[in-house]
């Protein structure tokens, strides 16, 4: 978990990139199944734009989640180190 939070920017970019690539390839396969039209170039540009927007949104949300939950994880690790008081 520490490795995840120390590299939160890199992790968020990698996950956003993976999701955007899967989205782009799924739409590419899905549009190839349809019959050939003259709008294929326009559809490809639209898919690229949508994939880029998805990358930005997913990366930003993932970074925000990791950034705002980092303090809670540090408190948990400190509590684990201290332990429970004896009764």
At 2 the pLDDT is: 74
**6: number of Cβ within 10 Å:** 11
Q: Are 6 and 67 in contact (CB under 8 A)?
A: no
Q: What residue numbers bound the domain in which 74 lies?
A: 2-80
Asked if residue 11 belongs to a domain, the reply is yes
At 26 the pLDDT is: 86
Asked if residue 86 belongs to a domain, the reply is no
Asked if residue 61 belongs to a domain, the reply is yes
Residue 33 banded pLDDT, cuts 50, 70, 90 = low
Asked if residue 12 belongs to a domain, the reply is yes
Asked if residue 27 belongs to a domain, the reply is yes
Residue 13 banded pLDDT, cuts 50, 70, 90 = very high
At 46 the pLDDT is: 81
Arithmetic mean of pLDDT over the chain: 80
Domains contained in the chain, number: 1
Q: Are 59 and 16 in contact (CB under 8 A)?
A: yes
Asked if residue 58 belongs to a domain, the reply is yes
Asked if residue 87 belongs to a domain, the reply is no
């Amino acid at each position: 978990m520490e490795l995840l939070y120390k590299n939160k920017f890199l992790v968020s970019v990698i996950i956003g990139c993976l999701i955007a690539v899967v989205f782009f390839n799924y739409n590419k396969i899905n549009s190839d199944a349809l019959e050939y039209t003259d709008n294929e170039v326009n559809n490809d540009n639209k898919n690229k734009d949508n994939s880029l927007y998805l990358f930005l949104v997913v990366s930003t949300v993932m970074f925000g989640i990791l950034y705002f939950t980092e303090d809670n994880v540090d408190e948990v690790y400190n509590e684990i180190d201290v332990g429970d008081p004896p009764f």
